[in-house]
A and B are shown apart, each in its own frame.
Chain A
Amino acid sequence: MSRTTLHAWLLLTPALVLLVAFTHYPAVATFWHSLFSTPRASRPARWVGLDNYEALLDDPVFWQAFWNNAIYAGATIPLSIGIALAMALWVNGRIAGRGLLRMAYFTPTVLPMIAVANLWLFFFTPDYGLLDQITSALFGWGPTNWIGQTETALGAMIAVAVWKEAGFFMIFYLAALQAVPPSLYEAAAIEGASRWTVFRRVTLPLLGPTTLFILVNAVINAFRLVDHIIVMTRGGPNNATQLLLTYIYEVGFRFWDTAMAAALTLILLVILAAAAGLQFFVLGKRTYYR
């Protein structure tokens, strides 16, 4: 082993030990433990093969969490990215009160998700929450239990997540917009291109790599960002806001069924791996790299 190789390994070892202990080992152990039954005081874990997965496929709550998560991802990802892009275009242009607007958009990003959950619990409170006060003043609606009824609860959770995330994504679009060379816009102006054409043909393609980066973050957050749900609804009412990670938490730390929670975690890991593969191999090729 050469001197540089030895040095490199010495430098890497502390970080690698921790990474293996808390990322790679648990990922592999999750798979291994999902093939056993949950150890209880009276009987130790025994090999059950794929029984845990079969039980999950027969579990209606799992399927509800799965489809809820699909809806949650399908709504939060495009909404937060779209709103972030609009915000960035607005505060990048000459608009009245630009500094204040940028602050308003970005502030949710620095708040803890738990604080956000409390703010929105208050905002959604039936009858005297701000939302009900507004809807009753504008449309004459009666009190609505936004997070307590199955029809609106998931939508309310999606709104909170988009509110929290959009300002964060805006920052990256803003950076990308400021990096677009002005000569491109001048050339487009000489060609007599309309503003919409300029946006579609010049700005949008140049935002490709940024969009990919934001998309990766948005996808991860669609499965990871569940703090507000645990505080606001605990997956309820009647599992209407149950997502995969909240269900892992419930099965693993309320029912203490660790084998089932391991099987659930593995399914989540497979979904994330598939999303990562899709992004890098399909979308990655189409974006414009300098």
Chain B
Amino acid sequence: MSATLSAPAAATPRLDAALQTLAAWLLGVVWIAPLVYAAWAAFNPSEYTTRFTLVAPLTLANFAAAWESAPFARYFLNTFLLVTMILAAQFVLCTLAAFAFARSRFPGSSLLFGLVLVQLMVMPDILLVENYATMRRLGLVDTILAIGLPYMASAFGIFLLRQAFMQVPKELEEAARVEGCGTLGILLRVYVPLARPTYLAYGLTSVSFHWNNFLWPLVITNSVETRPLTVGLSVFASTDQGIDWAIISAATLMTSAPLLVGFLLFQRQFVQSFMRAGIR
């Protein structure tokens, strides 16, 4: 890819621009091809799965077949509960902790913040074995709570919100204090509203991460009542279907659809949120 960027300036600018556009589009086609191919398979009868003709009839039968052959409604509900629970807990826990780190200096506060940041590198995904043992001692194996628990205190969320809170002018806090606000009142009336874009950014990244998360849920769940969509889809694709690609593609698109549609509708917010969550 970088070859086109390093093209010598001696080449005529117009040719250079045309080559760059061509390369960019080629890459774009490669990037979208697997998804388009799956969409083709999902929306056409299975005899057209690998035959590309314009006369192939469109159908939703594959989606209906996928929906009937596995408890996807339950999986959707599980994922919805999981994502909501994690997001609510993260907002509360990270807000409180970030406020403490942003606004008070106390003995050992920077050491403590350093200990929090350890989680950025040592994510719960890697500590599967010990966390599974902990969940077993707590009697939480195969519960939705156990899927979410390791992620609720998020170093990433504490870090992001602390950055946002530190940019709130001290004068606003003092004014609120003069008006008779307590510490929690100041947090809820001054800091949280001013950090709204950060909450949106963090919320979108968190929802898409946990909607898509797989390995820990795979380890900790083993029943239909707790499995999130990702694990349900993998069980469905590996055991139930053999190799009917039309139906597997339909199921795959179906499970990705909420995020995909959300992304297409709110592209700008998504992209800006991911940017905001990454910078600073």
Interface residues of A (CB under 8 A from B): 2, 4-5, 7-9, 11-12, 14-19, 21-27, 29-30, 33, 82-83, 85-87, 89-91, 93, 95-97, 100-120, 122-123, 125, 128, 130, 133, 163, 167-168, 171-172, 174-176, 194-196, 199, 210, 213, 220, 223-224, 226-227, 230-231, 245, 248-249, 252-253, 258, 261-262, 265, 268-269, 272-273, 276
> Assuming A114-B234, A133-B50, is B31 touching A104 (CB within 8 A)?
yes
Q: Is the CB of B9 within 8 A of A5?
A: no
Q: Which of A23, A103, A117 has the most CB of B within 10 A?
A: A23
Q: Can you offer 12 A-B residue contacts whose CB atoms are under 8 A?
A: A14-B97, A16-B153, A25-B134, A30-B130, A90-B20, A106-B270, A110-B259, A111-B212, A118-B233, A224-B125, A230-B214, A253-B132
B side interface size, CB within 8 A: 98
Q: Is the CB of A262 within 8 A of B129?
A: yes
Residue B145 CB within 8 A of the other chain? no
B84-100 vs A: 1/0 string, CB under 8 Å?
00000000111011011
Q: Which of B92, B129, B267 has the most CB of A within 10 A?
A: B129
Q: Which residues from B are CB-within-8-Å of A223?
A: 126
A-B pair count, CB < 8 Å, reads 278
Q: Is the CB of A22 within 8 A of B230?
A: no
CB < 8 Å neighbour of A83 from B1, B129, B214, B264: B1
Q: Is the CB of B116 within 8 A of A130?
A: no
Q: Is the CB of B104 within 8 A of A5?
A: yes
Interface residues of B (CB under 8 A from A): 1-2, 4-9, 20-21, 23-25, 27-29, 31-35, 37-38, 41, 49-50, 92-94, 96-97, 99-101, 104, 106-107, 109, 112, 115-116, 118-119, 121-134, 149-150, 152-153, 155, 158, 183, 208, 211-212, 214-215, 218-219, 229-231, 233-234, 237-238, 245, 248-249, 251-253, 255-256, 259-260, 262-264, 267, 270-271, 274-275, 278-279
Q: Which residues from A are CB-within-8-Å of B115?
A: 19, 24
